[in-house]
Structures are given as C-alpha cells and as structure tokens.
Amino acid sequence: MALQWMFLLLLTPLLAAHNRDKPSPNTFGKLSEKGKCKAPSDWDSRLRFYPKRISYDLNEVVQLNCTGRFLPSVPQIQCISRGAQAMWNETATCKETCQQPQWDSQLQFSPNQNFYRVGEEVTLSCFLNSTPPLAVIRCANRIPPKQSNAWEVLAIGGTWHRLAQKLTCTMAKCPKPQWDAQLQFSESKTKYPQNTELTLTCPKGLEPSFPKVKCTKEFQRVSSGKPDYVDAWWGRNSRGAWTRIERDVLCTEMCQRPPWDSRLQLVPDQENYGKKEKVKLSCPGGLQPTYTEIKCQTGFQDYDDDVTQYSVQKEFWHARDSTGAWVPIQSSVKCIEGCQRPPWDSRLQLVPDQENYEKDQEVYLSCPRGFQPTYTEIKCQSEFQYYDVLIHYSLYKEFWHGRNSTGA
C-alpha cells in the first residue's frame, strides 16, 4: 500500500507537467500503454501541431493549425490504437480559406473569424444582433487558379451569386410609409433614416398593430455582381421580437391581456388581443376556469363628469356561457375547485345549466316527460389530491354526489 502511494506521489508532478498545455481528455493512468504516435512528418508541410512534440501518447488529442491563410481540414486529431499499433485517427491537410473581408468597419460577422473555410456561411449585420441581417455570404473556391478566394452572396430564392463589389453599411433613408392616417410617428418627417427605431402611437383607445418600427435595407439580388437592396419596414411586437411588416400598420382596437387569476392559461397567450379575438382558458391541476372561452370586445363608453358628456373607447371582455351566448364579464375569470358539466345522458336537463360548477354547488336534474333521473339533485365535490412540485399547483379531483327522490 505504502509503496503504491509513494509511486503516485512521485508521479503526480510528472503528470501535471505532462497535462499542462494539453486541452485533451484525461490521460491519467494511461501512461503504461504500449505504443505512441509519431508527429506526422509527411503530411501537409503547412500543418502545425499543438502541443508540438516528437511523439504523442495513446488517446492524446492534438490541436491543428496551418500557416498563412489556410485552415486545417479538421481542428484536431487523436492518437488511437489499431490492433497493436498506435496511429492517428485521420490525416489532415491545410485548406484554402477566405480572409474576413475588410469592406466596412461597421460590419459584424457571425461567426467572427479571421479566416473562413470554403463553403462556410457568414452572416453580415450592420448592428449587433440586428434584424434582418444585411446579407449571408460564403467563401467560394477560387476559379481560375492564382485568383484569391472570393465571396458569394445568398439572394432571395436561395441562389448564390459571385460578389463583384463590397457590401457596406451605408444607410439611406426610407420615405414615410403610407399607412393608417391616424398613426402618429415619434418624429414627423417625410423620410426616416434606416435602422432607427421609431415609436408609433394612435388616438386614445386605439393601439398601433406595431408600436415600434424601423426601416432597413434588405438585400434583394445581385445584378452584374453588384448587390441590389430594397427598403423594408420591420416592426417589433409587444413581446419584443422583430418581424417584417407585410401589411399596413393600422390603429386598431385592442384588448390587453386580462389581469385576472395568475393561474389561468390562455391560448393563444399574448400581450394584446385584436378586436373580436377569441381566447381559450384553462386551469392547471384539475381546477376549472369559471369561463372556458372569452372574446375581446371594444366599444365606446359614455362618461359624464357633471360638466360635459364624453365617450371613451374602452376595451372589455365577453365570455361564452353554457348556452353559447356571449355575456360581458362582470368581475373576472378565476380558477376554482369545481366540476365540469357532467357528460352523462344527453336528455338530462340541468338547473342551472353551466359549463363548470363551483365546489359545493347544487344542480337539479330532470328528464323529459315519462323518464325519471336516477338522481334528482347533484352536488359538485372536489378533493385535494396532492401538490405537484413540478408545476407548483395543487391537484384536485372532481366528482359528483347525488341525492335521489327518497332523499338518500
């Protein structure tokens, strides 16, 4: 035992030195393995190996590099064993590259590298994380020889075109768009500089379909090697995502997401809903929403402040009741412990007739003439099942209690 520990103590500094400049997997305990890989001498002379050694241990991973404007065909190789022999798992070469173009100091490259492999696609933007990007380019093979590698640009439609001109971030101005006449721009101008965010507002009670917009230049195609751009307007929705504006921006009547029970699940789940838009409601953990479907309504509401009468555009929500009619929501929709309308005999008549019933709510049952219900009165019961730590809700199970005509 003591001897083994001593051996390990002696080995540790050696191992540390051995592992220092090597980002490879742990080779601890593999020292006694037979065979090593020799540094390749007959490969591409431009190849460089990190770490630089005469031989490498079995399983050692070696980083590759190339001199000049070349990149290795693979970033790393590994010394492996084949039968009794140690050998490299593949042969590497140095490949032609394209240097990152120096077209415009404002250009952002993604990925950002000094050199790019042939076929490697690069996204160009004029601003960090800007939407849309200025263009997507790729490094193309040089033809004919002696010419340096060139860049191709992706045109709308997915075709690649050889670029004969540099791409720059020079921004032009876009004429003010002819949208809804009620829209107010944060600055009133006839032209707006590209890539500048503008705030749009609407008269009271109305919301712009995009509250923030910007004009950008969008790469369209290459004509005789030169890029052609068009103006394009982009809008930011209330969730912060930029999308291309395909139709006019309008002042519309909108409802905001209702600030009711935080457990309510809305489908679709949005910040704003357009007029007449319907939203499905549900609750987690066996709870029932007091209404399962709501609709955004807007309209004018009259006010009277003793001096003048005025009306204000107001949003409100309607809910669909059990008969399918839309009724104004008096207070709010909640998630309650309750029962859904029982899916029993379709001839049963329920009083009251609702989609969901609250806990302890009593419901009277009757049947068409000539039939008797097995129960004349039922009561919604719900029982706590358990607390689900994953969704952070208590789970409830619903059931009905019945009373028959004899009162049992």
Ligand X SMILES: *[C@@H]1O[C@H](CO)[C@@H](O)[C@H](O)[C@H]1NC(C)=O
Site residues (CB under 6 A) for ligand X? 50, 61, 63, 65, 74, 76-78, 89-90, 404-406, 408
Cα-to-chain-centroid distance, residue 114? 30
Contact 260, 294 (CB under 8 A): no
| Shortest reach from residue 408's CB to ligand X, in Å | 4
**Nearer residue to ligand X within complex by CB, 93 or 322:** 93
The owner of tokens 């083994």 is 4
| 14 backbone dihedrals φ, ψ, rounded to 5° | -65, -45
| Shortest reach from residue 115's CB to ligand X, in Å | 9
| Shortest reach from residue 113's CB to ligand X, in Å | 9
Length of the chain: 408
| Shortest reach from residue 150's CB to ligand X, in Å | 22
- Neighbouring CB atoms inside 10 A of 222's CB total 21
**CA distances (Å), origin 316, targets 253, 278, 298:** 11, 12, 6
**CA distances (Å), origin 387, targets 264, 287, 383, 384:** 17, 13, 12, 8
**Nearer residue to ligand X within complex by CB, 65 or 313:** 65
| Shortest reach from residue 85's CB to ligand X, in Å | 16
| Shortest reach from residue 77's CB to ligand X, in Å | 5
| Shortest reach from residue 25's CB to ligand X, in Å | 8
**Nearer residue to ligand X within complex by CB, 326 or 400:** 400
Contact 401, 391 (CB under 8 A): no
| Shortest reach from residue 359's CB to ligand X, in Å | 23
The owner of tokens 């002819």 is 178
**Nearer residue to ligand X within complex by CB, 106 or 404:** 404
Instruction: Label residue 152 exposed, middle or buried (CB < 10 Å: 0-12, 13-18, 19+).
Output: buried
**Nearer residue to ligand X within complex by CB, 11 or 118:** 118
**Nearer residue to ligand X within complex by CB, 21 or 388:** 21
Q: Report, in angstroms and rounded to the nearest whole number, the Rg of the chain calculated over CA atoms.
A: 36
C-alpha span between 7 and 44 (Å, rounded): 41
C-alpha span between 197 and 215 (Å, rounded): 8
Torsion of CA 378, 379, 384, 385, to 10 degrees: 10
| Shortest reach from residue 211's CB to ligand X, in Å | 45
**Nearer residue to ligand X within complex by CB, 50 or 386:** 50
**Nearer residue to ligand X within complex by CB, 114 or 265:** 114
**Nearer residue to ligand X within complex by CB, 59 or 195:** 59
Contact 118, 149 (CB under 8 A): yes
- Helices and strands of the chain, counted as H and E runs: 1, 37
C-alpha span between 374 and 103 (Å, rounded): 84
